[in-house]
Amino acid sequence: MKTYKQLTKDQQTKALSTSTTAILQFITEQSEDSISFVFPDLEGRIKEAAEKAEANQTPWFFSEFVMDTCKEEIYAIALNDAKITLYTEAGEHVIGGIA
């Protein structure tokens, strides 16, 4: 297994992208209550992004509107997530979900 620091620059970029995508997917799929619990500091701006997407009748651009209003914070959360994750290498066996 590797830590984030042990990854190549390309792998780090991919890890950050994957984490960012997961966060945006969470935001787009969760209720307002879940978002306010997980991202209380971003709640207002996420709500504004939802309202903008709705007003423009473009709900498929919601995640882009979120990134327009919360980019720095989303990247900071994604980077933290990427840094605490362990990355497997080819041939390694991992048993998950035991905790």
**Tens digits of residue pLDDT in 31-88:** 777 887 888 888 889 999 999 999 999 988 999 999 999 999 999 999 999 999 999 9
Residue 93 lies in a domain: no
Q: Which two tokens stand for residue 64?
A: 């882009």
Of 19, 32, 91, which is closest to residue 62 (Cα–Cα)?
Answer: 32
Q: How many domains does the chain have?
A: 1
Residue 99 lies in a domain: no
DSSP one-letter code for 88: -
pTM of the shown model: 0.81
Residue with tokens 């978002």: 35
Residue 91 lies in a domain: no
Residue 95 vs residues 19, 21, 25, 34, 44: alpha-carbon distances, Å: 21, 24, 25, 28, 38
